[in-house]
A and B are shown apart, each in its own frame.
Chain A
Amino acid sequence: MDIRSQVSMVFHLDKCIGCHTCSIACKNIWTDRKGAEYMWWNNVETKPGTGYPTKWEDQEIYKGGWEKNGDSVSLKGAGKFKGLKNIFHNPHLPVLDDYYEPWTYKYQDLFTAPEGDDQPTARPISLVTGEHIDVKAGPNWDDDMGGSPDYARQDVNLEKLTPAEQEAMFQLERMTFHYLPRICNHCLNPACVAACPSGAIYKRGEDGVVLINQERCRAWRMCVTACPYKKSYYNWNTGKSEKCVLCYPRLESGQAPACFHSCVGRIRYLGVMLYDADKIEKVAASSDDQLVDNHLDIYLDPFDPAVVEQAKLNGIADSTIEAAQKSPVYKFVKVWKLALPLHPEFRTLPNLFYVPALLPTMATVQDGIYDSTSKSLWNGVDKNRLPMKYLASLFSAGNTDKIVDVMKRLMAVRLHRRGVTTGDISKEEISSAMDEVNINADMADAIFRLTSLATFDERFVIPPAHREESIEMLENTADVKGNTGFGFKERPVRGL
């Protein structure tokens, strides 16, 4: 066992209101610079929708992620032969139009325009060329367009559905959408790291954050192609690629990353997971139906004494192990089995897990009457507005059983809490729902508490970075002992 610690995340989609506060917090801190205007390290997508960059999930277009290759995996878009075949050209990159051309407005014209019959207007100008442009697309142009032909109908995940099921999703009164906030997954098996010819990308040993060394990056942009989540972006101004850094300067000082901190719906959870690095290759090469289970099995029980012992031998600090035991991510993913990884079929073993949205049941229109009534307060999950197949395409590599299980668990908690607060649901109905998924009242209450009432410190259990120790790896701190302070402007002397 090669136990390592990983800062992992859970996003609870039932709570996301699609306000983009996270995106703006990130933009203000990190990407409000020349060459980075189009980068959204954090973005919020509407599903069904095409996402950002458009159709990023379609790896037949972008060739991101890994492919199963016997007992191992190989990159879909890079490799020695593929590189040679293209004379080291990288042909599957998203172009600026696949993102959008960033723009601002010529606000000064509002003040300096000569007097005329019309009001002055601020024309849009490109942040890339500085010229006037006709804005054609933006980073969230598909926002809330759940039924639109341009965006929702182009959703890559619809391919898994039959035409009839697709049509059902786009009928009036049946349409739906939910939000999908995305950041870098800081994967266990990152394709961007594997694809980088310069060796500029690395996964930090202490917390698993994936970073790009700006001094070693040589603008190959292989990471842009390789990352199936398209979370590595090329800065055309600096000639370096950049990506989400999980606000590591904030993490190291015990603060949650900006997008987590600013989240209005409090959908985000962050905590440490312990995993067995020896198993990565085997897990990544699992068959499609085993992929999610094997992925979740790679995370170890931080309460298991054998695991703790091995972790200590591997140099993981006691404080980190303690953080792993308190980790909200461990609870959501491993104990309560409510959260699933996004597109596990890319085989990068992402560390960002999503609790799928328990959407309202489908209404029907019969004889011109809009009918949303059901026998009980909530219909069964089979009447969910979004087909299970669609959610399975997003979160479980097509395994609908996993989605149904999560949905039933969420429903059981809801029924339980309804029983506690109003008592208008029969005890038999509640207990049968809870027994089906093996949830007892205590667990349901705990889920409810962490979902709805969690405090800041419960949502973000950040392990101490131990910077006071890590600096000893780089510098001999004893050399400068006694040299503390800022020195004297005027040396103190005895007497008056």
Chain B
Amino acid sequence: MKTDFQLLKTLKSRFYMQSIQTKMKLLIFSGVLIFSVTHLYGENSDEIFKKNCSSCHTIGGGRLVGSDLKGITSKRTEEWLLKWTKSSQTLIKSGDAEAKRISDEFGGLIMPDQLLSDNDIKSIFAYIASKGDNPSSASVTSAVSNTSDNATESDIQKGKFIFEGIQRLSNHGPACISCHNINYKGVLEGGLLAKDLTDVFSRMGGDAGLRGILGAPPFPAMTESYKYHPITDEEIGYIIAFLNKVDKDKENQKVSSFNPLLYGGGGGVVGLLIIYWLLWFGRKKYTVKKEIFNRQLESI
């Protein structure tokens, strides 16, 4: 009996031990699994959001350049969000009424196409969803106070130099003027490759918006240009200070449509043609036998 009991006991304890080991293994496995998943959702999505979205969007922080995304996943289907994120313009053009309405609401401001994989986009929205379901109550543009309003003259001047490329960006990124134009006295006409930045300060959400854009440019060409040459925070401050000034002064900076190079060049060409014509006027242009040849041809 005793033997049986002992045997049973042994068996029981073995079984128990075994089950504890199994449970431990399961626990560790699931712990690792959970940790890795939370890491995926937590750290990585945060980073992608910050890099790609945060320059224009907040989650619960109110409307910036684009809308506040808190609770967006409960408002829209995932399919719609995927399409919108990949190419909002294509969606608008396809005749989607909701997309059109949003575009109108934001004054036709275009959301840049995001060159992200479906998984990344999904993970971003999962990340947004994790922040809460209820749409934010702070749905109007937050009255963010712009520190650049108080910028010193020297900051503005530094920003101007950086914009014009007179002062080189410390990480060797291209100067703003190579692609952008602004109407500001004393600044040469800039490039026409990208948008005019005269009113960018108010258009793109002031300090916060510009800081987001310049810190992590969302536009494909700009992304490529500054990928390996990021603009430092200090420089961003100067540039914003300058752009703020430009925006404020834009009414006084009406650049006349008179283009001295175009009209001067055109006038010069006309003048030269007149001179050539005057020189040409007294020249021997035809053979002196022209009359003879013509008369002979007529007589045939």
Determine if chain A interacts with chain B. yes
Q: How far is the CA of A365 from the CA of B41 in the complex (A)?
A: 126
| B289→A91 contact, CB < 8 A | no
Q: How many residues of A contact B (CB 8 A)?
A: 22
CB contact under 8 A between A92 and B284, given known A85-B279, A136-B296: yes
Q: How many residues of B contact A (CB 8 A)?
A: 11
| A55→B288 contact, CB < 8 A | yes
Chain A positions within 8 Å of B279 at CB level = 85-86
Q: How far is the CB of A109 from chain B (nearest CB, A)?
A: 25
Which of B279, B288, B291 gathers the greatest number of chain A CB atoms within 10 Å?
A: B288
> Residue-by-residue, is B271-282 near A (CB-CB < 8 Å gives 1, otherwise 0)?
000000001000
Interface residues of B in 278-300 (CB under 8 A from A): 279, 283-284, 287-289, 291-293, 295-296
> Residue-by-residue, is A263-298 near B (CB-CB < 8 Å gives 1, otherwise 0)?
000000000000000000000000000000000000
Q: How far is the CB of B277 from chain A (nearest CB, A)?
A: 14
Q: How far is the CA of A62 from the CA of B288 in the complex (A)?
A: 10
Question: A53: nearest residue on chain B (CB-CB)?
Answer: B288
Q: How far is the CA of A97 from the CA of B289 in the complex (A)?
A: 7
Interface residues of A in 117-154 (CB under 8 A from B): 136-137, 149-151, 154
CB contact under 8 A between A98 and B293, given known A85-B279, A86-B279, A91-B283: no
Q: How far is the CA of A150 from the CA of B287 in the complex (A)?
A: 14
Chain B positions within 8 Å of A136 at CB level = 289, 293, 296
| B295→A150 contact, CB < 8 A | yes
Q: How far is the CA of A58 from the CA of B284 in the complex (A)?
A: 12
A478 at the interface (CB under 8 A from B): no
Chain B positions within 8 Å of A137 at CB level = 289, 292-293
Chain B positions within 8 Å of A50 at CB level = 288
Interface residues of A in 149-193 (CB under 8 A from B): 149-151, 154
> Residue-by-residue, is A294-337 near B (CB-CB < 8 Å gives 1, otherwise 0)?
00000000000000000000000000000000000000000000
Q: How far is the CB of B250 from chain A (nearest CB, A)?
A: 49
| B287→A97 contact, CB < 8 A | yes
Chain A positions within 8 Å of B292 at CB level = 54, 137, 150-151, 154
Q: How far is the CA of A89 from the CA of B236 in the complex (A)?
A: 60
| B295→A95 contact, CB < 8 A | no
Q: How far is the CB of B292 from chain A (nearest CB, A)?
A: 5
| B284→A91 contact, CB < 8 A | yes
| A54→B284 contact, CB < 8 A | no
Chain B positions within 8 Å of A93 at CB level = 284
Which listed residue, A61, A91, A149, touches B288 by the CB 8 Å rule? Answer: A61
Q: How far is the CB of A460 from chain B (nearest CB, A)?
A: 36
> Residue-by-residue, is B200-225 near A (CB-CB < 8 Å gives 1, otherwise 0)?
00000000000000000000000000
| B289→A54 contact, CB < 8 A | yes
Question: A100: nearest residue on chain B (CB-CB)?
Answer: B289
Q: How far is the CB of B82 from chain A (nearest CB, A)?
A: 68
Q: How far is the CA of A84 from the CA of B235 in the complex (A)?
A: 56
Interface residues of B in 236-293 (CB under 8 A from A): 279, 283-284, 287-289, 291-293
Which of B291, B292, B295, B296 gathers the greatest number of chain A CB atoms within 10 Å?
A: B292
Chain B positions within 8 Å of A151 at CB level = 292
Q: How far is the CA of A145 from the CA of B22 in the complex (A)?
A: 132
Q: How far is the CA of A150 from the CA of B288 in the complex (A)?
A: 11
Question: A137: nearest residue on chain B (CB-CB)?
Answer: B289
Chain A positions within 8 Å of B283 at CB level = 91-92
Question: B297: nearest residue on chain A (CB-CB)?
Answer: A136
Q: How far is the CA of A53 from the CA of B287 in the complex (A)?
A: 10
Chain B positions within 8 Å of A149 at CB level = 295
Q: How far is the CA of A86 from the CA of B296 in the complex (A)?
A: 34
Q: How far is the CB of B298 from chain A (nearest CB, A)?
A: 12
Q: How far is the CA of A97 from the CA of B288 in the complex (A)?
A: 8
Q: How far is the CB of B287 from chain A (nearest CB, A)?
A: 4
Q: How far is the CB of A306 from chain B (nearest CB, A)?
A: 49
Q: How far is the CA of A136 from the CA of B288 in the complex (A)?
A: 13
Chain A positions within 8 Å of B291 at CB level = 150, 154
Chain B positions within 8 Å of A55 at CB level = 288
Q: How far is the CB of B291 from chain A (nearest CB, A)?
A: 8
Chain A positions within 8 Å of B295 at CB level = 149-150
**What 7 A-B pairs are tightest by C-beta distance, nearest first?**
A97-B287, A150-B292, A55-B288, A54-B288, A91-B283, A98-B287, A54-B289
7 of the cross-chain contacts (CB-CB < 8 Å) are A61-B284, A93-B284, A98-B288, A136-B289, A136-B293, A137-B292, A154-B292
A54-B292, A154-B292 given; 12 more Cβ-contact pairs under 8 Å: A53-B288, A54-B287, A54-B289, A61-B284, A62-B284, A86-B279, A98-B287, A98-B288, A136-B296, A137-B289, A150-B296, A154-B291
